[in-house]
Structure 1
Amino acid sequence: MKKFQLLVEEQMKTMEQLLFLQSELERCEEIEEELKMLQAETEIESVQFEIKKMKEELNEIHQLFETQTEEVIKTYQIQVPS
């Protein structure tokens, strides 16, 4: 009977280790997922920043184009009177 008790105690210790490791593994996997999401968010923010810069640049170029177009029209009208 003493051997049985020792075996059961060892098995309980092993089960505690198993449960602890399983819990730690799940915790680490959750952290891993959170880090992946944070990394993705960081990448998204980086892309969003680039998009904002491009939109601003596009707007500036659009305004420049409009100004150039007006200048071309004025110059044409001066050179070719109606």
Structure 2
Amino acid sequence: MREFDRLISEQLKTMDKLLFLQTELERCQAIEKELHDLERKSQLGTLQDEIKQMKQELNDIQNQFEKQTEEVIEYYQNELTTAK
């Protein structure tokens, strides 16, 4: 079960990253709207680049989380099969 605990621990760390990044993305998008409303286009472009980068990172973390989930399920199924 140590391996299972390790997998779950890694998945929880990934989930923390995911939640943090989602919060940051929402914050930046709110700022983006404010800047757009204020028509500060030079600042808007920089923020849009940051948002694009965060969206890519969020996508990468989501993919990592899905892979970890698959590993946890596979490990757990193997443990059940071995236990029988």
Normalised TM-score (structure 2): 0.51
User: Structure 1 residue 35 and structure 2 residue 78: aligned?
Assistant: no
Q: Specify the alignment match of 2:23 in structure 1.
A: none
Report the alpha carbon displacement of residue 50 of structure 1 after superposing the two structures with TM. 1.1
- Which structure exhibits the higher relative contact order, with contacts defined as CA atoms closer than 8 Å and separated by 6 or more residues? 2
User: Structure 1 residue 19 and structure 2 residue 61: aligned?
Assistant: no
Matches within 5 A, 1:1-82: 7-51=40-84
Q: Deviations over 1:21-64 (max 9, x none)?
A: 1111111011001001000000011011012xxxxxxxxxxxxx
Report the alpha carbon displacement of residue 9 of structure 1 after superposing the two structures with TM. 2.0
In structure 2, the gaps of 5 or more residues are 1-39
In structure 1, the gaps of 5 or more residues are 1-6, 52-82
Report the alpha carbon displacement of residue 8 of structure 1 after superposing the two structures with TM. 2.0
Q: Which amino acid aligns with 1:37?
A: E
Runs of 4+ that moved beyond 4 A: none
Q: Rg: which structure is higher?
A: 1
Aligned counterparts of 1:45 and 1:11: Cα–Cα separation in 2: 50
Q: Which amino acid aligns with 1:28?
A: I
Normalised TM-score (structure 1): 0.52
Aligned counterparts of 1:42 and 1:11: Cα–Cα separation in 2: 46
RMSD: 1.5
